[in-house]
Amino acid sequence: QVQLVDSGGGLVQPGDSLRLSCVISGRSLSAYYMGWFRQAPGKERILVAACPWTGITSTGYADSVNDRFVMSRDFVKRGVYMKMNNLNIEEKAVYFCATEQGFTNSSSAWRNWGMGTQVTVSS
């Protein structure tokens, strides 16, 4: 089984940055994809960024965050991270890390989830 603990959310002003963290325990991640999702109040959960565990350079980003968000990971710590730069008010949401064997854009197909961490962007 795979267990994830995500953290790093907080209250920031527009234009500020945050770095989200996710620590994964359990079985080998060699065949897994790593993903970050977000869900704003009353909205569906959407994929923000994702990459193969073994291929961080292959990260794909949603158009709305491209060039502002950056994923990274640490093999030893079994951590996956997302640096979010120049946050705007519309990006207030609960952010979730997730893993799955195989890639899909649909959140319903991802089986392993963190509990989520709240990001509040407010002036």
Give the residue-averaged pLDDT of 15-39: 93
pLDDT tens-digit readout, 30-56: 889 999 999 999 999 999 999 999 877
Give the residue-averaged pLDDT of 48-74: 92
Determine the Cα–Cα distance for residues 104 and 13; give it in Å rounded to an integer: 32
For residue 89, give the nearest of 51, 52, 41 by alpha carbon: 41
Residue 102: partners with Cβ closer than 8 Å, 6 or more residues away: 33
Give the residue-averaged pLDDT of 98-120: 95
pLDDT, residue 27, reads 82
